[in-house]
C-alpha cells in the first residue's frame, strides 16, 4: 500500500479517488475560475484538510479535465489573466486545438490555442439544452448573472442606453423588438448634442449604443468626454399591436420616444457597458436546470455543457407528432438508444425518435407568450396528460395577427405578456410581466412571433438565383425520351424532360466551341456519376450521382439539374437539387433545391474561376458533399468537441433513412431520361438487401426499428415500378 494511502486511512477516512479529487477541483474552479494550480491546491487543502495531495497531482488532474470551450464563453489568457475576451464562432472551422477569441483590447478576433486559455464564465439563456458532468440532459429554465462591480458581484445592472438590440419592448399595448436607437449626449464642457454629431475615438462592442460614460469623442474639432447618455428615440420592429393606432391594420410608428419598457431583459455580459459607467469585465452565471428525470437544480454555468439538439432529439414534455397519427403526443421518457416513450390519447408507446417531429405549437423556456383572449383561436388538438386531456390553441397563420391584436385589447391594468419558464405534464409555468407566475393550459397561450405577424420576410441571399420554380404538375408524370436510355456515363439525348428545373428559363446561347469542349470534358466523368445533355437545349444538363460507398448515401440516387450561363466559363452554372424529403439529409443540400458549395459562391472556401469546369463542380458534389461524415460539413461542428462522433453517428442514421425515403419517391417517379438506368441499378445492386442496408453494431435501436419497416417499402416500390 502506498504511503499516502496509508496516512489517509490512519486518519480514519479512505484515500480520495481520482474522480473525487477532480470533482473537488471542479467545484473550486466553478467558485473561482481565475484560480491557477497553486491557489486551487491551497483552497483544496482548506476544504479537505485530511487529504494529502501534492500540487503536481492537482496540475495533472486540472490538465486532464480542462473544460471544452464553446462560443460566447468568457475567457482569459492563463499567463495574462487581465486580458479578457470571449470565444466567437467563425464561418470557417479553426485548426484543431485552437479557437477564435474577441479580446476587449482588439477590434478583430484573434486565433488562440485553447491550452493557453482559461474559461471564466459560460453564457447560457433560458431554453438552452445542457448536459451535466455525468451526462444527464436538461433544459435551462432560469438564468442568474452576477456582475463584478467594485470587487463585489451584483445583479440587475441596467445597460447603457436603456435597451439592447433585439430586446423585447412594450409600449402601451404594442409589442416589438429593438432594431435601432438615437441618443443625446452631454459632453465634458456641458454641451448637450445629438450622438450623430460626434466622432467616436473609442469603440464599443454594443451593436445598438456605441457610447459609454467617459468615452473620448471629438466635437467641433475638440476632444471631449461623454458625461451623460440619454435615449432620444428607439427604433422598433413591431411584432404585434392592439388598440391605439388609427387603423388596426397599420403598424405603430417605427420610431418612438421614451418612456418604453424592456420586457424580460437579457443580463449584461462581458464587454457590455452599464448605465453606471464601467465596462463589464467579469460575470458569474448560475442556471436553474430542469433535468430529464424531472428534477431541478441550480448550478454554475461552468459545470454545464451546451448541447445542440438535432431534428430528432427530444426532451421530456416535448409535444410531438408521428407520421401515422393525427393527434399530438407528449414525450414522457427519452432513452439512449434513440427511442422515445410517447403518451397518446389511448396508449403509451415506445417509438423511434426518427418517426417523430416536434409539434409546431411546442413551447419552450424563454418563449414569449400572450394570454389568449376569448375568440383568438379555436380549440385545437388534444394533449393527453396524467391529469386528463388538454387542448392546444389552434390559430391559422392568416389569422395570427388578428388573434394577437384581440389578445392585446383585453381590459386589464397589466398586459398579460409572459415568458415560459418550463413545461409540466402538458401545462406551462409562465412568469408574467408584473412578476407573478401561474400554470396555464396550452389553450390559453398564444406564442408571440419573433418577427412581424403581418409581414413575410425573405432572405435575399437564400432566394436569389437559387430559388427555382419547378413545374410540380409536370414533375408528377415525367416525359421520357423516345429511345430508352443506356448505361453510358455521358450521353446527349434529344428530348428535354418537362420536369427539368430550368426548362422554363430563357435559353442561354452558348458558342459551339464552348459546348463541344464542355461535352468533351464530361465524357471523362468518374465512376458513380451519370450526365445527360440535350440536343434541344445545349445549356442544360441533368446529373445523377450515386452515393459513394462508405457514406450514409451509399448506392442511393441524387438528382441535380444544371443551367450553363452565357458567360461560362467565367461564371458558374446554376444548380438545383431535386429534394424528395421535408428534411435536409445533408448540410449542403436544402429542401428548396439550393446547393451550398464554395464553387457556387454559396459556401466558404475557394470560389469559381475562369479555369473551373462543370466536371470539377460535379465531382466536388460527389466528393465534398456526399461524404462519410456529413455532420462535420455544418459550420461549427468539429471532431474535437465532446460527443461529436456520437452526434455524427446519429446524423448518419437520419441521413440514411431520409435517403432511403428519397429513393422510394425516385423509384415511384423516375426522372427522365434515367428511368431504366435507375430501376436496373436497384434490381442489381442489392442496396435493399437486409444484409446491405441493415444497421451495424454501433447503430441505435431507434434506427433499426425504422429501417426494419422502411426496407420492405423500398422493395415494394421497386416491385410496383417493375
* Residues designated catalytic: 596
Residues with Cβ within 8 Å of 137's Cβ and at least 6 positions away in sequence, in order, are: 129, 130, 131, 291, 292, 307, 315, 334
Orientation angle between helical segments 55-64 and 18-31, nearest 10 degrees: 80
Residues with Cβ within 8 Å of 130's Cβ and at least 6 positions away in sequence, in order, are: 124, 137, 138, 139, 140, 287, 289, 304, 305, 306, 307
**What is the C-alpha to C-alpha distance for residues 381 and 383, in angstroms, rounded to an integer?**
7
DSSP 707: H
**What is the C-alpha to C-alpha distance for residues 461 and 547, in angstroms, rounded to an integer?**
28
**What is the C-alpha to C-alpha distance for residues 480 and 673, in angstroms, rounded to an integer?**
6
**What is the C-alpha to C-alpha distance for residues 106 and 102, in angstroms, rounded to an integer?**
7
**What is the C-alpha to C-alpha distance for residues 344 and 334, in angstroms, rounded to an integer?**
15
Q: Which of 242, 58, 273 has the alpha carbon at shortest distance from 164?
A: 273
86 neighbors 272 (Cβ within 8 angstroms) = no
Residues with Cβ within 8 Å of 677's Cβ and at least 6 positions away in sequence, in order, are: 485, 486, 487, 530, 544
DSSP 374: T
DSSP 31: H
Residues in the chain: 722
Q: Which of 317, 321, 353, 361 has the alpha carbon at shortest distance from 335?
A: 353
311 neighbors 654 (Cβ within 8 angstroms) = yes
DSSP 624: I
Amino acid at each position: 500500500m502506498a504511503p499516502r494511502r496509508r496516512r489517509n486511512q490512519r486518519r480514519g477516512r479512505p484515500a480520495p479517488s481520482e474522480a473525487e479529487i477532480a470533482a473537488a477541483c471542479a467545484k473550486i474552479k466553478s467558485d473561482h475560475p481565475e484560480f491557477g494550480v497553486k491557489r486551487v491546491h491551497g483552497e483544496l487543502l482548506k476544504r479537505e484538510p485530511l487529504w494529502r495531495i501534492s500540487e503536481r497531482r492537482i496540475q495533472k488532474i486540472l490538465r486532464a479535465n480542462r473544460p471544452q470551450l464553446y462560443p460566447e464563453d468568457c475567457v482569459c489568457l492563463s499567463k495574462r489573466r487581465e486580458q479578457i475576451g470571449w470565444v466567437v464562432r467563425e464561418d470557417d472551422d479553426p485548426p484543431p486545438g485552437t479557437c477564435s477569441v474577441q479580446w476587449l483590447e482588439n477590434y478583430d478576433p484573434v486565433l488562440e490555442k485553447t491550452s493557453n486559455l482559461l474559461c471564466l464564465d459560460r453564457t447560457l439563456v433560458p431554453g438552452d439544452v445542457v448536459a451535466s458532468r455525468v451526462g444527464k440532459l436538461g433544459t435551462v429554465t432560469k438564468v442568474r448573472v452576477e456582475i463584478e462591480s467594485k470587487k463585489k458581484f451584483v445583479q440587475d445592472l441596467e445597460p447603457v442606453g436603456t435597451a439592447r438590440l433585439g430586446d423585447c419592448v412594450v409600449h402601451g399595448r404594442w409589442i416589438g423588438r429593438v432594431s435601432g436607437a438615437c441618443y443625446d449626449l452631454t459632453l465634458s464642457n456641458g454641451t448637450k448634442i445629438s450622438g450623430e454629431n460626434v466622432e467616436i475615438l473609442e469603440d464599443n462592442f454594443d451593436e445598438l449604443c456605441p457610447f459609454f460614460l467617459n468615452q473620448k469623442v471629438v466635437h467641433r474639432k475638440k476632444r471631449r468626454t461623454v458625461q451623460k447618455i440619454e435615449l432620444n428615440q428607439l427604433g422598433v420592429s413591431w411584432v404585434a399591436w392592439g388598440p391605439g393606432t388609427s387603423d388596426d391594420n397599420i403598424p405603430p410608428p417605427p420610431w418612438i420616444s421614451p418612456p418604453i419598457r424592456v420586457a424580460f431583459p437579457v443580463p449584461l455580459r462581458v464587454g457590455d457597458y452599464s448605465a453606471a459607467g464601467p465596462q463589464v469585465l467579469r460575470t458569474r452565471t448560475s442556471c436553474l436546470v430542469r433535468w430529464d428525470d424531472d428534477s431541478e437544480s441550480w448550478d454554475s454555468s461552468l459545470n454545464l455543457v451546451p448541447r445542440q439538439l438535432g431534428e430528432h432529439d427530444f426532451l421530456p414534455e416535448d409535444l410531438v407528432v408521428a407520421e401515422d397519427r393525427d393527434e399530438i403526443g407528449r414525450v414522457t421518457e427519452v432513452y439512449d438508444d434513440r427511442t422515445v416513450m410517447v403518451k397518446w390519447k389511448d396508449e403509451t408507446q415506445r417509438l423511434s425518435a426518427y418517426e417523430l417531429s416536434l409539434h409546431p405549437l411546442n413551447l419552450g423556456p424563454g418563449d414569449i407568450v400572450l394570454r389568449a383572449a376569448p375568440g383568438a383561436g379555436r380549440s385545437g388538438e388534444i394533449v393527453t396528460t396524467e391529469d386528463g386531456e388538454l387542448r392546444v390553441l389552434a390559430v391559422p397563420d392568416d389569422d395570427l395577427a388578428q388573434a394577437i391584436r384581440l389578445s392585446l385589447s383585453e381590459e386589464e391594468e397589466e398586459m398579460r405578456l409572459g415568458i415560459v419558464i418550463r413545461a409540466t405534464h402538458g401545462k406551462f409555468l409562465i412568469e408574467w410581466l408584473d412578476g407573478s407566475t401561474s400554470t396555464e393550459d396550452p389553450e390559453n397561450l398564444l406564442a408571440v412571433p419573433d418577427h412581424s405577424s403581418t409581414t413575410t420576410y425573405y432572405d435575399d441571399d437564400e432566394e436569389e438565383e437559387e430559388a427555382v420554380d419547378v413545374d410540380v404538375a409536370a414533375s408528377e408524370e415525367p416525359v421520357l425520351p423516345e429511345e430508352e436510355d443506356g448505361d453510358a456515363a455521358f450521353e446527349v439525348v434529344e428530348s428535354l424532360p418537362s420536369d427539368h428545373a430550368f426548362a422554363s428559363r430563357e435559353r442561354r446561347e452558348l458558342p459551339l466551341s464552348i459546348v463541344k469542349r464542355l461535352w468533351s470534358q464530361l465524357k471523362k466523368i468518374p465512376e458513380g456519376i451519370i450526365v445527360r445533355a440535350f440536343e434541344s437545349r445545349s445549356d442544360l444538363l441533368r446529373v445523377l450521382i450515386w452515393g459513394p460507398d462508405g457514406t450514409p448515401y451509399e448506392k442511393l440516387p441524387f438528382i441535380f439539374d444544371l443551367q450553363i450561363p452565357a458567360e461560362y466559363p467565367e461564371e458558374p452554372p446554376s444548380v438545383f437539387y431535386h429534394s424528395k424529403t421535408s428534411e435536409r439529409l445533408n448540410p449542403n443540400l436544402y429542401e428548396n433545391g439550393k446547393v451550398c458549395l464554395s464553387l457556387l459562391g454559396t459556401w466558404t472556401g475557394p470560389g469559381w474561376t475562369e479555369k473551373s469546369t462543370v466536371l470539377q463542380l460535379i465531382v466536388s458534389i460527389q466528393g465534398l458533399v456526399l461524404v462519410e461524415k456529413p455532420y462535420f460539413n455544418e459550420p461549427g461542428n468539429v471532431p474535437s468537441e465532446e460527443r461529436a462522433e456520437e452526434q455524427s453517428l446519429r446524423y448518419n442514421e437520419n441521413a440514411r433513412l431520409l435517403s432511403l425515403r428519397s429513393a422510394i419517391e425516385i423509384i415511384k417517379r423516375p426522372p427522365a431520361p434515367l428511368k431504366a438506368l435507375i430501376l436496373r441499378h436497384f434490381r442489381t445492386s442489392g442496396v435493399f438487401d437486409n444484409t446491405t442496408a441493415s444497421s451495424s453494431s454501433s447503430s441505435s435501436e431507434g434506427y433499426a426499428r425504422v429501417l426494419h419497416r422502411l426496407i420492405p417499402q423500398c422493395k415494394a416500390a421497386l416491385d410496383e415500378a417493375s
